[in-house]
Amino acid sequence: MTVFYFDFLSPYSYIASQLIQTRYQDIDFDYRPVVLGTILSKRGVAGPGEIPDRRRIGLEDALLLAQHYGISFEGPPTHPFNSIYALRSVCAVEDKSQRKALVHRYFSLAWKEGKSLEDLSHLRACLKEINIEHDPEEVATSREYRSMLKSYTKEALGLGIWGVPSFTVDNLVFFGHDRLALLQSYLSGKIQKQPEKLSELLSRPQPGRIR
């Protein structure tokens, strides 16, 4: 199973979402929302949006990438923003094709159309488009979907994931939108794991290792 871990907060996750729809439709993803803030906190890292220089550099980079790939990029009305309603709304969708459609629709809503994912009326409109019958406000307070989102986030942390977008398969982690081509090569069998070489590299001395 190939998993796509994401948070709607992330412009790079949006770029990955667009690339998946246009260049990597052949990859069958399992879409799993996570809370980026929790991942960063557990890693002892401040969010890029909380540091002025990193926020500017990151958004400038995302704008350049969008031009490079030919992707529309408006950006949400505020950033960072509270993505929890949208994330739990995705958790509430069991049907795989509908979950996929909703993820891509929410990404487009925020980053392509510049609408707020904190506005429940926008979320409800998206759900209606895809014929999904749940209310995002009710879902957000549901113990089941709160637990599911926490579980996905904990799962990602357990795999060693430190940011989004991240993709996993066969206990491998591919971090970043720019790893989609590498992931595709692995899935097609063009490249493969090298466990013996990896073990040999890991066994080499680590001068100055951080403890």
**In-domain check, residue 207:** no
Residue 211 within any structural domain of the chain: no
Question: Is position 48 within any domain?
Answer: yes
The whole-number mean pLDDT for each consecutive block of 10 residues of the chain, a chain of 211 residues, reads 97 98 98 97 83 89 98 96 98 98 98 98 98 96 97 98 97 98 98 97 86 57
Q: What is the pTM of this model?
A: 0.95
Q: Is residue 81 part of a domain?
A: yes
Note whether residue 10 is domain-resident: yes
C-alpha–C-alpha distance, residues 148 and 182, integer Å: 29
Residues 40, 95: Cα–Cα separation, whole Å: 29
In a domain, 210, yes or no: no
Instruction: Determine whether 47 is exposed, middle or buried from the number of CB atoms within 10 Å of its CB (0-12, 13-18, 19+).
Output: middle
Q: What end-to-end distance do the CA atoms of the chain give, in Å? A: 33
Can you give the residue range of the structural domain that contains 194?
Answer: 2-202
Question: Domain with 184 in it: what CATH number?
Answer: 3.40.30.10
What is the tally of structural domains in the chain?
A: 1
Whole-angstrom Cα Rg for the chain? 18
Q: Determine the Cα–Cα distance for residues 77 and 119; give it in Å rounded to an integer.
A: 11
